[in-house]
Amino acid sequence: MIDPLALFFLAVIFIVSLPSAIYSLGYLKNEYSSAKITLAWVLLVAFVLSMALVVSVSNVLVFLVFWEIMSLLSYFLVVFDTKHEKSIQAGMIYIVMTHIGTAFLIAAFLLMYKYAHSFDFLAIKSACLSMPAQTRNIVFLLLLVGFGTKAGIVPLHVWLPYAHPQAPSHISSIMSGVMIKTAIYGIIRFVIFILGAGSSWWGILIIILALISCLVGIIYALMERDIKKLLAYSSVENMGIILLGVGLALFFQSVNMPYLAVFSLIAGLYHLVNHAIFKGLLFLCAGSVYKASGTRDIEKLGGLIKQMPLTAGFFLFGAMAISGLPPLNGFVSEWLTLQAFFLGAFNTIGGVKLFLGICAGLLALTGGLAAACFVKAFGLTFLALPRSHYAKEAREVALSMKLGMFCLALLVLIFGLAAAIIMKLLARVAGAACGIDIGNMAFFLNNFTLSPQVGRGIYLSVPLLAIWLIVLGVLGFAIYKLFWKGKSVIYKTWDCGYYNMDSRNEYTATAFSKPFRIAFSFFLLPYRKTQKIRDSFYHVKSFAYETHTTLIFKKYIYDPAIALVLTTAKAMRRIQPGSIHLYLGYIFITLLLLIIFIHQF
Amino acid sequence: MMKIIIILQLAFFIAAAPLLNGLITKIKNNLRLRKGQSIFQPYYNLAKLFAKGEVVSETASWIFKVAPWVVFSATLSAALLIPVFIFASPAHRLGDFLALIFIFALARFFLALAALDTGSSFGGMGSSREMFISGLAEPALCLVIFSLSLQFGSTDISAFSGMHRVSVSSVVAALALFLVTLAETSRIPVDNQETHLELTMAHEAMVLEYSGPSLALLEWSAHIKQMIFFFLIAQIVFPISLPFLGSLVQTSVWVICYLARIMVIAVIVALVEVSVAKMRLFRVADFLGFAFVLGVIASVCAILGV
């Protein structure tokens, strides 16, 4: 079904996939054999097509088929680097999780079919009107778990930090930038568009889960030292921010505030396209770093801004955008999301106001932590001295890779500066998805104001802000140039008089995140191991220090669950001793039971 | 008219911000029964720095070079959003109160990167601590804005300057904002501007490698940022709604009242600084957590309408 919603998602898919494809020209070269490169291209094209079809079909059954094709193709792309042991393991986790999600989706779709007697979207939409509230709730929950697995909502996020980093970087970029967004498409299409407004707890549930995803995602990202894994965890966070917009939209719809619903959905969709762009960009940059240096470990990098100035510049752009800094695109969508909370609070009563306010506060916390996370990611990867020979030997990447990154970096800027125009377009998409006429809502060029129904006009003009930033920056520069007549000397960094400072004196990623590790120790459960090796009682020869954080979702949810499955499987094995007589017996007994069953009921 | 006010306001912030810092230092010194330096000392410092040469680390990249200008421009942009001479902020089409958070984040982001750029472990320390403190300050600041905008139905800064009464909610919000201000302007008990001890410094550690005019710009920006926060607090707890342009007497009374509010806050900050010990870094989490709770209380008061 090609409606504005589908068109929007198609646009997102191609905006990120095309630069990634250009990038892959240089990325795949010299990395894989020519047969594998061909395979990579076939898989890439098929993968992008499957995503495009997922968002444009209008039949549930066909949707499921393409959904499954998309999942399988991305599985093959995750395990593409077969030489890595980790790829196989990551692929395994991914395929299991994604199928658990699909199982929930099938359950939801069958339940819908029971009422609609058709697989067509519109038929289901009209049938959903007469669905009893209880069933609607069940369908909603099934859809939430199903799509939530793909979207990487905590605690269903476990596969994401394994699968995304393991794929080749241009695929990571498409997976994190676009593929997980199809889950948001699913939620908007099936919950907001087809199921329609339900109870108000639907929206609140999504908001709470989204906030947990935001915080958990960014805290884990802060602790991470593998640059691609860091980006994957940050995707969990950003999916949370997108879902905040979606959840708010659902909530406002259920309390009959259509304008706010549209506004929140605009915020969510805006962040969706922004995240697709800057996360795509960041993954491409991380891929360049990996290709140039051969490592993804931030602790071993450093100083790359000198050898790879362009990649560094592009990464800085992405890092600024994802931290929500003006005048780039992330700033606009985070501002809109916060504004959606505030506007919601102005128009609701009592406890809901407080709830929305606290949520906004926690979202601001996420923003602060994200900025810290990306100061770490950029600062330790690209600045100061190289920490290992990997970083020393890194050289700037091929032209096609630079071109791919450049396209996305340009989009980061455009989507920041042209916010007013993009908001107008998104209003149409959001209006169509919510089934609301947006004709009465006013969106002015160069600033956004909401219709009078939702309070006073609020202004934000990104181009104006950009101009002021530049003008005042020039003022600072002018003061510097006009009043200063001194000389600039290049000299060593102050090293407290050692005169022997090297990269070992630098702050590391682990050190950078230490205050956060201590502040959030109730959640991260860090533990450390110190070991002194002495050659005599008085002299310590060497000192080993190790610190880890505990992945509580893995330890307390997934590990016990996997253990349970394995013990059950072991117990089941007893009825399968390999004797054909026994198996014939089973068949006979089953047959008997079935005959009895048919006669009895 | 608007253009004149914008230029006037920028000039005011650039010119007067160092004086405010000198004033606080003077009050602090007097409270400690010392004579203290002149209140114009920050100007002498800036002049001195502009007369000196600059040492740039050989490890540093262009980030180190541009950071002072970015910090300066972002801080001044934030100053544009604050209503000072009229009830509307001069450039209120630029953004609202929420945009202020993001603009400050821009300045901080570049400063934190520049601190990492020289490869000194002091810089890394400062960068990590600053991001930690400010990251935790953000939710508190957001809730302060939330509680205030609940009272006025908008996040537009002009809405705040149009207020005429002080409610319980405003007072609590101002208190929370005060705690955030202490953290954001690197004052005791969160940070200490007067020391260069590696165990305690955060902001000073970040600018440790800077010298000469770059350092001057950074210090100037820090003064301006401090003044922005003071103006916000002043407008919340001591709202003044006298006309700016009236008879000569009226205008001078207005100006005196207007500046007296800032003085009161300066005295309170100085009192806090001389009477409280600096906290351990990890207790800052509790401190800012308390600010967050105050923000929640302010919101509850605003919801209850008190």
CB contact under 8 A, A345 and B146: yes
Residues 6+ apart with CB under 8 A from A566: none
| Position A363 pLDDT exceeds 80 | yes
Q: Comparing A198 with A101, which gets the higher pLDDT?
A: A101
Q: Are A543 and A531 in contact (CB under 8 A)?
A: yes
At A199, the pLDDT band (50, 70, 90 cuts) reads confident
Contact A371 B105 (CB under 8 A): yes
Mean pLDDT of chain A, nearest integer: 90
Instruction: Flag whether pLDDT at A445 surpasses 80.
Output: no
Q: Do A282 and A315 contact (CB within 8 A), yes or no?
A: yes
In this structure, are residues A416 and A440 in contact, taking their beta carbons and an 8 Å threshold? Answer: no
Q: What is the pLDDT of residue B87?
A: 65
Nearest CA in chain A to B123: A507
pLDDT band of A457, cuts 50, 70, 90 = low
Query: Count of A–B CB contacts within 8 Å?
Result: 289
A458 touching B, CB under 8 A? yes
Confidence of residue A443 (pLDDT cuts 50, 70, 90): low
pLDDT at position A446: 44
Dump the DSSP string for A494-531.
P-TT-S---GGGS--HHHHTHHHHHHTHHHH--EEEEE
Q: pLDDT per residue over A96-116, tens digit each?
A: 999 999 999 999 999 999 999
Say how far apart CA B186 and CA B126 lie, in whole Å.
Answer: 11
Residues of chain B scoring pLDDT < 50: none
Contacts of A473 in chain B (CB under 8 A): 69-70, 72-73
| Chain A: closest CA distance from residue B64 (Å) | 10
Q: Which of residues 48-77 of B touch A (CB under 8 A)?
A: 50-63, 68-70, 72-74, 76-77
- The answer to whether residue A453 scores a pLDDT higher than 80 is no
pLDDT at residue B164 in the model: 67
Q: Which of A316, A361, A468 sits opposite B139 (nearest CB)?
A: A361
**What pLDDT, on the 0 to 100 scale, is given for residue A451?**
47
What is d(CA B101, CA A443) in angstroms, rounded to the nearest whole number? 24
Q: Residue A491 and residue B296: Cβ atoms within 8 Å?
A: no
What pLDDT score does B103 carry? Answer: 95
Overall residue count recorded for chain B in this entry: 306
Most confident of A1-5, A513-517, A537-541, B157-161: A513-517
How far apart CA B294 and CA B176 sit, in angstroms, is 6
- Report which of A234, A230, A388, A401 is spatially closest to residue A304, judged by C-alpha positions: A388
Residue range A83-94, pLDDT digits in tens:
778 888 899 999
Looking at residue A147, its pLDDT comes to 96
pLDDT at A462: 87
Task: Supply the pLDDT for residue A496.
Answer: 82
**Contact across the interface for A476 and B72, Cβ inside 8 Å:** yes
Measured between alpha carbons, how far is A197 from A433 in angstroms, rounded to an integer? 12
- Give the residue numbers spanning the domain of B97: 2-304
Please, are residues A149 and A101 in contact by the beta-carbon 8 Å criterion? Answer: yes
What would you report as the CA-atom Rg of chain B, rounded to the nearest whole angstrom? 19
Condensed to tens digits (0 to 9), the pLDDT of residues A403-419 reads 999 999 999 999 999 88
Q: Report DSSP letters for A4-42, one per residue.
A: HHHHHHHHHHHHHHHHHHHHHHHHHTTTS-HHHHHHHHH
Q: Measured between alpha carbons, how far is B99 from A562 in angstroms, rounded to an integer?
A: 46
Q: Return the amino acid letter for A27.
A: Y
Contact call for A459 and B156, based on CB within 8 A = yes
CA atoms within 13 A on the CB side of A579: 7
What local confidence, expressed as pLDDT, does residue B192 receive? 87
pLDDT at B245: 62
Are B95 and A465 within 8 A, CB to CB?
A: yes
Pairing mode of beta strands A540-548, A527-534: antiparallel
Which residues in A lie closer than 8 A to residue B184 (C-beta atoms)?
A: none
Residues of A whose CB is below 8 A from B142 = 338, 360-361, 363-364
Report pLDDT for B139.
95
Strands (E), A160-226: none
Query: Quick one: average pLDDT of A578-599?
Result: 92
Nearest to A363 by CA among A515, A519, A243, A460: A243
List Cα–Cα distances, A7 to A13, A188, B21, in angstroms.
Answer: 10, 14, 55
pLDDT at B50: 93
- Residue A317, classed as helix, strand or coil, is helix
Residues A272-320 pLDDT 10s: 999 999 999 999 999 999 999 989 999 999 999 999 999 999 999 999 9
> Are the Cβ atoms of B109 and A375 closer than 8 angstroms?
yes
Q: Does B202 touch chain A (CB under 8 A)?
A: no
Cα nearest neighbour of B131 on chain A: A372
Q: Hey, what amino acid is at B238?
A: F
User: For chain B, what is the domain count?
Assistant: 1
Question: In chain B, which among 105-164 make CB contacts under 8 A with chain A?
Answer: 105-106, 108-109, 112-113, 116-125, 127-129, 131-132, 134-143, 146-147, 149-150, 153-156, 159
For chain A, give every domain's residue range: 4-465, 552-600
Quick check: A152 pLDDT over 70?
Answer: yes
**Facing residue for A518 by CB, picked from B95, B119, B282:** B282
> What stretches of A294-392 show up as alpha helix (H) in DSSP?
304-307, 309-322, 329-347, 351-382, 389-392
Which pLDDT tens digit goes with each residue over A467-487?
999 999 999 999 998 888 888
CB contact under 8 A, A447 and B93: yes
